[in-house]
Amino acid sequence: MISSKTVLALLYLLFGAAPQLLKSCSSFSPSILRNPKKVVHGVRIATSKQNVILQSSPTRQVDATVKAPEKSSNHKVIVNMHSTSDNKNTSSKNNALNLVLVAGFESFNKDLYDSAARSLNDVNIQVFADNEIRTSTTEVNPILAQAMKNADIFVGSLIFDYDDAMAVESLLPHVKGPKLLFECSTELMTHNEIGSFNMKTSDGQEVGPPPAIKAVLSTFTSGKEEDRVSGYVKLLKVGPSLLKFVPGEKASDLKVWLEAYRYWNQGGATNVKHMVELLRKWYRNEDIGRLPDLVVTPDIGLLHPIHDHGFFLSPKQFLEWRLSDDCAEVAASKKFALAPNDSPRCALLLYRKHVITGQKYIMDLITQMEANGVIPIPIFINGVEGHTIVRDLLTSEHEIRGVKDGSVVREDSFQSDKAVTVDCIVSTIGFPLVGGPAGSFEAGRNVAVAQKLLRDMNVPYVIASPLLLQNIPQWKQNGVLGLQSVVLYSLPELDGAIDTVILGGLVGDKIALINERVRKLVERIKGWVNLRRTPKDDRKVAIMLYGFPPNVGAVGTAALLDVPRSLDNLLRRMHQEGYDVGDFATDPDACGESLVAALTILSEDSVIAAGADKMNDALEKRIERAKRGDKTTPETLAKPGAGLGGAKIRAMNIQYDDLEKVMGNYMSKKVRRAWSEKDRGPGLSSKGEMVVSGLQVGNVWITVQPLLGVEGDPMRLLFQRNLTPHPQYCACYEFMGLSEKKGGIGAQTVIHLGMHGTVEWLPGQPLGNDRQSWSDELLGGLPNLYVYAANNPSESILAKRRGYGTLISYNVPPYGRAGLYLELANLKDLLNEYRTSESTDLRQSIWSICQRCGIDNEVPLVISGNAYKESELPENILSEIFYTWAKDVGNYLELLQERLFSSGLHILGSKPSEDDLRSYLSAYFKDTLSEEEYKIALQSIGSKNENKWWDILMFLKNLFHDRRDESSRENEARMAVAKEVVSLLSRNTEELDSVMTGLDGGYIPPAPGGDLLRDGTAVLPTGRNIHALDPYRMPAEGAWIRGRKIAEDTIQQHLIKNNGAYPETVACTLWGLDTIKTRGESIAIVLALVGAKPIKEGTGRVVRFDLIPLDELKRPRIDVLASLSGIFRDSFANVVDLLDDMFERCAQADEPIEMNFIKKHAMELESEGVERPAARLFSNPPGDYGSMVNEVVGTGDWQDSESLGETWKGRNVFSYGRNEGSGGQGISGTARPAVLDKLLSSTERVIQEIDSVEYGLTDIQEYYANTGAMRKAAENRKAVDSTGKKKKVALSVVEAFGSPSDSNAKVPVRDVEDVLRLEYRSKLLNPKWRDAMINQGSGGAYEVSQRMTAMVGWAATAKVDKFVFDQAAERYALDEEVARKLQKANPEAFKNVVRRLLEASGRGMWNADDDTLRKLRELYSDADDLIEQVDSLYN
């Protein structure tokens, strides 16, 4: 009996619903993967017409007009038609029906379709793969074009690349008969047509089925929203058999379409043949009669290479067979290696269609996993129902325990009679767990469902797959490219996936595995499972701290994190959980500061030179010196037991031969070639042995990550791609994970404590580790728990993807407001007094303070059109002029005192204090909460009864005041958010909870990376496996609005300062961090400068950047030099390709050069014979990261500011984009010095966006090392003017701290010198910031130290005012109390503070008085002498 709801659903299909129905599930296989083999992406755009024009060759005239996609500008698709005689593939069969089949992104199935074609005598089938759709950037493959002209029937499958879809769409009008498109882009799906049935949509038709169809779909699903896609699949499959109840021709035609789809979906040569026969009969109006039976493969099944009797229908049935004696006997007879029955059990999700089509890699994968000691449970699915497998057919020991104790509630759909217990889940499918490929259209929509399932399972969720659309040499050359990176990395990471392993790729048209990569997958699975199976008190854990750069007090530091106190919390929590941490947790004198101090001593060159055997003596002598009050030794070592909690030195001297045995010949030969016996890098004893050392605390080994480069030559490692880590770096990681029986440390897992280390930055693949990637080699199978700052979703991507990091986020420190201090506070008082009295006696005092503080630079006193600079005010100054100026100074002080900064450092797992919570709330609500509102919000962490009474009070208020005004409702909503903020921040303790979960080999729930001020409460609580976002949806709408406004404001800023002249070239920095956090504002800035806009296809993905017509733009197109960070280059390869395509089209646009500076400069370069004159995207060498300018500044090994610009240029001369190989052919990243020189020489302004309060212009080295140095490189190429100086290049800084959802918020654009003054006044020179930092111990002292280094970097690449150096010296070096605190906490950091001040003077950056310099030299000499005395003890 057919229900009325089902008939209603079928009627909806018939009368217009089909396109929406299919739009929601238009891809059940890897159909959104772009084929990176093609460089031919983009079609030429015609901006003046509304239709796509088909241009034919003279031999055959074709007239066809196709409506262009609604959201895109017009695309001119060039189609070169050839006559039939020119088409060599045309069949000679008489009266044969011509069918064209475009196989799209399943090139590995082309042989299958060809074989089906050969079996039919009266049908001429021409099969094309995706890489045969177009022959160049602008031309459709002429063979395909001619075939389509002759086609009677067209079938297209898995065509999803936007440019390919547009090319196919332009050819569809030529097809005489049916057009069937299966699982293609939404633009193509609307062209489905057979007889009276079509899928065209009406204008304004709502996407998605109406309530009636949703109701009927519930009969095909569990009724859950997350199951709707699999419900659509079921409905499509039963549709044909139900349509017999619906009369009419349209139903008959729809039935043919559905039957054809079913044949295609089931796959295999027989089904494809039946599909073609069906279409042939329909086209020739023959009686279709009874259709041949489908060759059906179950929707879900399991298989095994030695099982020859069909598929298993449940995991339990499979596992019972797999563990049986029968299986063992068959394996023995076939000489098949089975994993032992107690091996880790791994659910392996496979593509059903790959099973149907007999892809060999599936059986190879199962075979290799068995041979290497893991039992795979291989479950094939359509792709959309991965979550139903996890929910209904899998369980784990953790879930079973949770069900028993009530902490886990299973869904009713769980099938205990079919389910099995597993140790991990591996998906070869990628995409979101819920919905698979179809779920990618609404990425993140069902993340909560996936998280709940995986959290209940609490086992590792791993992605491992061969590259389906990229051949192995391309992967080896360029890494994982395009949409494949989204499918295998970005989308699964939203669900908390870890440890993605690329298993192989295409060889020809076949999918091939690399056995070594399968072994890597198994190694990592076993690492996680064995960790969980080991009792806690026996688990061996390594904790890795950082110590770079050397000799400046950096040991035991990390961005925004108090590492010593975090180490305290971590070890004590491990003790509570049952781990062996020796006596540390029970010793009241033990502290992390002492551990860090001891590790600092072990890291000293002189101590390393003496070798491992002498390290105990070195530490004991230093402890004695600390007890005697030696200033060069941290006073924490003077505590009883040195505060070490019984920690012992565990160190070893390693011979090179021993390292080779551990590493194997392949990688050790690389090291030997790169590092000769005479130059084996740092970390060696005087005997030439590699020294690996650390502190042993119970079963926990704490060490410092080896230095990456060589002091004095810091860029050596990263400057050449074929270089390797130095031998001691390799030895540290190799012996850390080596078992104790084999002479190693025996660590079963490593915790990288804080942001960030260097292992993920080592040479290797940009994305998709292979055998030659050094992070892959050194981490091996070691589970890597990476404690990382929550507000850096950019660099954390590298740690996750290249360094196999399971991320555990930590919160940012509380925010502080700068306020006013010392002379600035005095100035404000004087201004207030002056405003009320207008006393002329106060003017000189106000002016003198402003000059001493440098405020006259930001707020110049303009007299007679010029900025006044004399120390004495003129007596005849007009009162109106001075009053107006004084008012402007007051406004500046208001701006300054409201600026935010990070106050101190965060301690892992610590709850914020009430004062801390107030500071977070103040920053979040911009100081608009009243004292009463603060109290109410803070009650959410106090008594539950207090909260309950407040809620009752609000309920009564609402009950009796239904007509509350809007402001009351807004206040209540605001208070709800405030209480939520407080509640979430109070869950900082979950940071340590997640570390403990990770140490148990469990699942860490994901969350977006970001900060509270920009991203709101979505980034809380911390302790999460942070991820980035879908790179195919940038710029977001709000980012596009804000970025466009920033670009226009920057242009106006330039016009005002340059007499109305437009800049010909603007340099923009594109960084991964600000791109992720702003949702693509920097991309939008580039587009707006050029005069382009983002174009989206039907699913909302950005697919093209189209040029805005000049008559609409109303100004010239400004050329852009885009400086890409290595992370942006690798993480947003799709954006790089789209930008490159835009610049190429812009350079070829039919526009006057005075209105198109891109074209102007490209033509000039072309006239000089320069290749790729439209290249505009420059970055570091492929696979490398960083400009190395900060390393050079850190060592002091540089001559002048010009040399820093040339260092930047030498590291950023590599051009990227679709036309440089990132599209899949050639080498990604080609050195183009001539183009870069041209762009630098024409650059008149640089733009740098800053995305967060925590990483201001003066807080980290990267800003001056990249943006500042790029500016110097541009200035180096300017002509010398009449004054003998080169023209300065302006640098605009955009502080985009606000929420990206607030597109109307004003984003200030300021000159760099103005921002530097604001930054220094609000932070480094501010006693409030200083005191908060130096109270953080050694880590806080290091933060001060590295800002002094950055100050020298900025003085070299921009301008740092004299008052900044003067006050920095006064606040830190010459203040005896502060100097004493710094030196006691971190002697090396204090020495660096003094050193940088002396360096600034020596380089002419700071004109210090003689007395100040004398005092600084004495301080430095004293510190240097004491440190040298200590060093001499061990030489």
- pLDDT digits 0-9 by tens, 264-302: 888 888 999 999 999 999 999 998 888 898 888 898 999
Supply the pLDDT for residue 38.
31
Contact, 578 vs 1352, CB < 8 A? no
Question: If you average pLDDT over residues 332-340, what whole number do you get?
Answer: 97
Q: Token pair for residue 1295?
A: 């502080």
Preceding peptide of 1021 cis, ω within 30°: yes
pLDDT band at 135 (very low <50, low <70, confident <90, very high): confident
How far apart (Å, rounded) are the C-alpha atoms in residues 398 and 400?
5
Q: What Å distances lie between residue 684 and 429, 542, 757, CA to CA? A: 46, 22, 21
Question: If you average pLDDT over residues 511-530, what whole number do you get?
Answer: 97
Q: What Å distances lie between residue 1050 and 1047, 1154, 1274, 1303, 1319, CA to CA? A: 5, 20, 18, 17, 20
Q: What's CA 857's distance to the chain center, in Å?
A: 39
Among 133-137, 274-278, 565-569, 905-909, the minimum mean pLDDT is found in: 133-137
Supply the pLDDT for residue 922.
93
Supply the pLDDT for residue 82.
40
User: Residue 1424: pLDDT above 80?
Assistant: no
The HSE-up count of residue 1301 (CA atoms within 13 Å, CB side) is: 5
Q: What's CA 1418's distance to the chain center, in Å?
A: 47
Supply the pLDDT for residue 1403.
95
Q: What Å distances lie between residue 985 and 564, 777, 980, 1155, CA to CA? A: 22, 38, 8, 52
Q: What Å distances lie between residue 1094 and 763, 1088, 1103, 1117, CA to CA? A: 34, 10, 8, 16
Among 660-664, 722-726, 735-739, the minimum mean pLDDT is found in: 722-726
What tens digit of pLDDT does each residue of 665-674 get?
A: 999 999 998 8
Q: Token pair for residue 1080?
A: 């693509």
Supply the pLDDT for residue 1426.
52
Supply the pLDDT for residue 229.
59
How far apart (Å, rounded) are the C-alpha atoms in residues 946 and 932?
14
Provide CB contacts within 8 A for 161, sequence distance 6+. Answer: 34, 35, 41, 105, 130
Question: If you average pLDDT over residues 574-583, what whole number do you get?
Answer: 98
User: Residue 537: pLDDT above 70?
Assistant: yes
Supply the pLDDT for residue 235.
64
What tens digit of pLDDT does each residue of 797-846 get?
A: 999 999 999 999 999 999 999 999 999 999 999 999 998 887 888 999 99
Task: Please spell the DSSP secondary structure of 409-464, one letter per residue.
Answer: ---TT--TTT-EE-SEEEESS-S-TTTHHHHGGGTTTTHHHHHHHHHHHTS-EEEE
User: Residue 1115: pLDDT above 50?
Assistant: yes
Q: Token pair for residue 84?
A: 């039939």
Q: Which residue has the higher pLDDT, 949 or 762?
A: 762
How far apart (Å, rounded) are the C-alpha atoms in residues 62 and 59?
10
Contact, 1377 vs 1327, CB < 8 A? no
Query: Which residue type is seen at 703?
Result: T
Q: At what angle do helices 325-333 and 315-322 cross, to 10 degrees?
A: 60
Highest mean pLDDT pick, 14-18, 277-281, 1162-1166: 1162-1166
Count of other CB atoms within 10 angstroms of residue 383: 28
User: Residue 1416: pLDDT above 90?
Assistant: yes
Rounded to the nearest 5 percent, the helix, strand and coil shares of the chain are: 50, 15, 35
How far apart (Å, rounded) are the C-alpha atoms in residues 264 and 907?
57
Question: If you average pLDDT over residues 146-154, what whole number do you get?
Answer: 96
Provide CB contacts within 8 A for 955, sequence distance 6+. Answer: none
Among 60-69, 716-725, 796-805, 1237-1246, the minimum mean pLDDT is found in: 60-69
Contact, 1430 vs 625, CB < 8 A? yes
Nearest of 1282, 1130, 1123 to residue 1208 by alpha carbon:
1123
β-pairing verdict for 1065-1070 and 1243-1250 = parallel
Question: If you average pLDDT over residues 201-223, what whole number do you get?
Answer: 51
Query: Please, what is the average pLDDT of the chain?
Result: 86
Among 367-381, 527-541, 851-865, the minimum mean pLDDT is found in: 851-865
How far apart (Å, rounded) are the C-alpha atoms in residues 214 and 235?
12
Name the strands in the sheet holding 153-157, side by side, starting at the edge strand that comes first in the sequence: 123-129, 97-104, 153-157, 179-182, 193-194, 197-198
Question: If you average pLDDT over residues 1089-1110, what whole number do you get?
Answer: 92
User: Residue 475: pLDDT above 90?
Assistant: yes
How far apart (Å, rounded) are the C-alpha atoms in residues 804 and 781?
9
What tens digit of pLDDT does each residue of 940-996 get?
A: 775 444 455 555 555 555 555 555 566 777 888 889 999 999 999 999 999 999 999
pLDDT band at 6 (very low <50, low <70, confident <90, very high): very low
What tens digit of pLDDT does each residue of 1365-1386 get?
A: 999 999 999 999 999 999 999 9
Supply the pLDDT for residue 1435.
43
Supply the pLDDT for residue 1299.
64
| Percent of the chain whose predicted confidence (pLDDT) is above 90 | 66
User: Residue 855: pLDDT above 80?
Assistant: yes
Highest mean pLDDT pick, 457-466, 1070-1079, 1217-1226: 457-466
Supply the pLDDT for residue 238.
65
What tens digit of pLDDT does each residue of 1170-1189 get?
A: 999 999 999 998 878 888 99
pLDDT band at 77 (very low <50, low <70, confident <90, very high): low
User: Residue 512: pLDDT above 70?
Assistant: yes
pLDDT band at 162 (very low <50, low <70, confident <90, very high): confident
Q: Which residues pair with 1124 in a beta bridge?
A: 1070
**Residues shown for the chain:** 1435
Contact, 30 vs 437, CB < 8 A? yes
Q: Which residue has the higher pLDDT, 1069 or 715?
A: 1069
Supply the pLDDT for residue 709.
65
Nearest of 155, 133, 140 to residue 64 by alpha carbon:
140
DSSP state of 1118: P
User: Residue 356: pLDDT above 70?
Assistant: yes
Supply the pLDDT for residue 809.
98
Q: Token pair for residue 993?
A: 């909870």
What tens digit of pLDDT does each residue of 184-209 get?
A: 888 898 899 999 888 886 655 544 44
Q: What Å distances lie between residue 209 and 71, 379, 919, 1067, 1176, CA to CA? A: 22, 31, 48, 47, 45
Question: If you average pLDDT over residues 702-707, what whole number do you get?
Answer: 96
Q: Which residue has the higher pLDDT, 190 or 710?
A: 190
Burial class (CB in 10 A: 0-12, 13-18, 19+), 982: buried
Supply the pLDDT for residue 701.
98
Contact, 79 vs 1141, CB < 8 A? no
User: Residue 29: pLDDT above 80?
Assistant: no
Provide CB contacts within 8 A for 1097, sequence distance 6+. Answer: 69, 71, 72, 162, 165, 185, 186, 187, 1103
Q: Token pair for residue 605?
A: 């060159």
